[in-house]
Amino acid sequence: MTRSDPVPESAELDPAALAKRYRAVRAASLALADPLSAEDCALQSMPDASPTKWHLAHTSWYFETFVLAASPGHRPFDPDFAYLFNSYYNSVGDQYARPHRGLLSRPTLDAVRAYREHVDAQVLALLERNALDPAARGVLRLGTHHEQQHQELILTDLKHLFGANPTGPVYRDSAARPLERPPAAGPASFAAFPGGLHEVGHADPSFAFDNEAPRHRVHLEPFALASRPVSNRDYLAFIEDGGYRDPAPWLSDGWTAVQQRGWEAPLYWRRSDDGDGWETLTLGGVRPLDPDSPVTHVSYYEADAYARWAGARLPTEAEWEVAAADAPVSGNFVESGALHPLPAPASGGPLRQLFGDVWEWTASAYGPYPGFRPPRGALGEYNGKFMSGQMVLRGGSCASPADHLRASYRNFFYPDARWQFSGIRLASDAAS
């Protein structure tokens, strides 16, 4: 699946086009929840995850708070929702504690669905009357991309929830069962890129998050990127060589995590009943581990340790973006229905699977670009205040919407996070 070419801002903010996008994004969230029971939607498996019901409500809270609240005569759907479904916007008000979201048996899922319908009717009415100025339409457009981030979180948080269930629940029978398996790509090779001055950061007039700007110059030494992400077969060699028992390739904090948390393999891997192989939990249930699929659900610490063990390193985010700048945004996204990484194709250019399948850890800490200034007001809290202690990932995953991604997109998570579809692409220095 391929993302269409960038759309100019004026076209994206056209009321009719924005209404079409708004309807599509909001419908996609409900479609993700359709296979779930009310119980599935209410539970929370860990503090970093949230219940599906909360995601459905919070994304509606965004539109009510930042778009509808400024409309003359607006009345909140339920005054308590301003507290219950505010995520982290301190300038807007207090928030219900994130680790306790799974305790919210009320409002019910039906009430949250009614909340969504109420918000949708009012937002679409404003667009129909052309009653939103360009700034408000920009906030609305940001909200649709924000909701797409939560769509991915719905799937990853749900998978973590199902992973805590010993019966191996199935979200969708068709998940992880591609209709046609591509030929295996074989051993990875490396594609070389020249050093020198390069420009990175969002450049065209279509939508991007504030953390993708300003566009700026970086100096890179010559480098090379692996032709495909690290596969399960590749990673098994690391495990079988004692990778989780040898402290040598690990960062100090990573080795502490291995010891304290008992890591022996990527998240969701487990030995098969016969003891001779591995299985993994997918959104289609427990399946035999596919050796040719990209390894996923590894932390930054595991990615970095594997790279050291392999005699390579992780790419910087600037290297990754320079390498991906001219590549089409095509691949295995949420729309494919696989909801799981697929094997790299045997052909398709020097770099395959740059987009989709797995988010790729980089060696770059998440921080501001030179000249970055967060927007004024509450929406300035969206990205800027998280620029500490996290690492950047690039490329999107099998749970990402196709039209949500671009080469400049910066995802970020703490280095011990494993519940996202996060994987590894190796890099190396190249001769100048």
Q: Average pLDDT of each block of 10 consecutive residues along the chain (432 residues)? A: 64 94 98 97 98 98 96 93 95 95 98 98 97 95 97 98 93 70 77 96 92 97 98 97 98 98 97 86 94 97 98 98 96 95 89 97 97 86 88 98 96 98 96 60
Can you give the pLDDT at residue 275? 73
Can you give the pLDDT at residue 328? 94
Count of C-beta atoms within a 10 Å radius of residue 73: 4
Matching residue, tokens 């391929």: 2
Residue 154 DSSP symbol: H
State both tokens at 317. 């985010």
Burial class (CB within 10 angstroms; exposed 0-12, middle 13-18, buried 19+) of 58: buried
Coil, strand, or helix at residue 24?
A: helix
Domains and CATH numbers, the chain: 9-163 (1.20.120), 190-429 (3.90.1580.10)
Task: Please state, in angstroms and rounded to a whole number, the distance separating the CA atoms of residues 190 and 199.
Answer: 22
State both tokens at 383. 């990205």
* pTM over cut 0.85: yes
Can you give the pLDDT at residue 58? 97
H or E stretch at 60: helix 52-66
- According to DSSP, the β-strands at 359-365 and 422-423 are parallel
Contact assessment for residue 401 and residue 333, using Cβ atoms and an 8 Å cutoff: yes
H or E stretch at 252: helix 252-261
